[in-house]
Amino acid sequence: MARWLKWQDYRAILRDQSRGMQLDLERAVLWPHSPLRAAIAAAVPWSEIGAQTFVLSAAAPARNRALGFAQARLRRGRPEADITFIAPALAADPDAVSIWYRLLAECAQALGEQGNLRLFAQLPSGDGVEQIFATCGFNTYTHEDIYRLNFWPVGLRKQNILRHQRLRDGWNLLRLYAQLTPRAVQLAEGMLSAEGQGGKIGDWWDQSRGVGYILEAEGELAGAVRVQRGAAAYWLRFWLHPQAQAYSETLLQGAFALLWAAPHKPIYCSVRDYESGLPASLAAYGFQHLHTRALLVKHLSARVKAPVFKLMPALEKRPEPAASVPHHAAQK
């Protein structure tokens, strides 16, 4: 059975973390860490790498022996979580598939009991992993291309092309999201649900602590970029208005201007398959395509507390005695 992490499980995590599968590429490149560090950091508030850990233990008599483990990270301000790591990898253990089935089922149940409504996963596309998750109830709702820039452009300088995102930009950004994003993706990401419509703008834009910047053209919102600065890399997330495709290079140039004085580290960028206009500009700046990943979601059944009406035994009422009739009245 799968259970929450215990102190005696840290040795098993240390043993198996080298033969597991990393599913959280953003934090892996921004803040390099091991699954053991993620398990320990789960107790630290607002940690960038902390994750809840679920351990699958063997049946009796070896009940304390760990067969595998999975980690999930809650999204701030949302009833959602991401599967970030799972061990053992498929090639590391002949029983890995059955271990994954049990781990994913137990994770979904435990996170649902916490009140989470959706469980996400980011998987390498086309290597069989996606099919295993699909068997466990996950649905693929879109694909995403990952790019990396190792060598920065020469002659970067400070330019005021983009401005900081403000609270008043919230409505325009949500409208941009609705125009760019297919309805099926909006449903999968919970943006058409009650908590999605009433949530903060950062809920759909990014789940990390990145900073948002806006590109305006003729007084209108033409695009936006979210910049995440990590210890070992940077991650850029772009949005470009469908009628502002000509500003793709300007948006990219503005993002570089934000980093003109920053230490040179690898720059990563993710572009979804329905977002056009950016891949050509990324290639012109020297970004290399790394791989394509699938974005999956599993909708959870959250436990809801409902009042239970207890039936109370009622005393049976005795029939009231008939009114007595005087004897002389009865004779009449």
- Distance, in Å, from the CA atom of 289 to the CA atom of 269, rounded to the nearest integer, reads 9
Q: Are residues 68 and 95 in the same domain?
A: yes
If asked whether residues 134 and 81 sit together in one domain, one would say: yes
Considering the domain boundaries, does residue 264 fall inside one?
A: yes
Closest CA relative to residue 104, chosen from 80, 74, 75, 68: 68
Residue 43 pLDDT level (bands cut at 50, 70, 90): confident
The verdict on residue 299 lying in a domain is no
Give the pLDDT of residue 64. 60
Residues 197 and 273 in one domain: yes
Please indicate, yes or no, if residue 79 is contained in any of the structural domains. Answer: yes
CA atoms within 13 A on the CB side of 123: 24
Whether 330 is in a domain gets the answer no
Residues 6+ apart with CB under 8 A from 253: 159, 161
Give the tens place of pLDDT for each residue, 263-320: 999 999 999 999 988 999 999 999 999 999 999 999 997 555 556 666 666 555 555 5
Q: Is the pLDDT of residue 62 over 60?
A: no
pLDDT digits (tens, 9 = 90+) for 184-219: 999 999 887 765 544 444 444 444 568 999 999 988
Question: What distance separates the 2 farthest-apart alpha carbons in the chain?
Answer: 126
Residue 7 maps to a domain = yes
Query: pLDDT band for position 78 (50/70/90)?
Result: confident
pLDDT digits (tens, 9 = 90+) for 321-331: 555 555 555 45
What angle is formed at CA 172 by the lines to CA 187 and CA 214, rounded to 5 degrees? Answer: 110
| Count of the separate structural domains present in the chain | 2
Using one digit for the tens of pLDDT, what is the confidence trace for 158-185? Answer: 889 999 999 888 889 889 988 999 999 9
- Report d(CA 101, CA 10) in Å as an integer: 22
Give a yes or no: residue 322 inside a domain. Answer: no
pLDDT tens, position by position, 229-274: 999 999 999 999 989 999 999 999 999 999 998 999 999 999 999 9
Q: What is the CATH number of the domain that holds 225?
A: 3.40.630.30
User: What's the chain's average pLDDT?
Assistant: 85
Domain final position from 90, 115, 143: 143
Domain end marker among 122, 143, 164: 143
- Shared domain for 230 and 162, answered yes or no, is yes
- Residue 298: what pLDDT? 97
Answer yes or no: do 117 and 169 share one domain: no
| Parent domain of 16 | 2-143
Residues 135 and 238 in one domain: no
226 lies in the same domain as 130: no
**Which residues are within 8 A (CB) of 154 and not within 5 positions of it... i.e. 6 or more apart?**
none
Confirm whether 194 is domain-assigned: yes
Q: What are 120-140's pLDDT values in tens digits?
A: 999 988 778 999 999 999 999
pLDDT surpasses 50 at 157? yes
3 pLDDT more than 70: no
Using 50, 70 and 90 to split pLDDT, how confident is the model at 7? low
Question: In the structure, what pLDDT confidence band is assigned to residue 14 with cuts at 50, 70 and 90?
Answer: confident
Residue 326 forms part of a structural domain: no
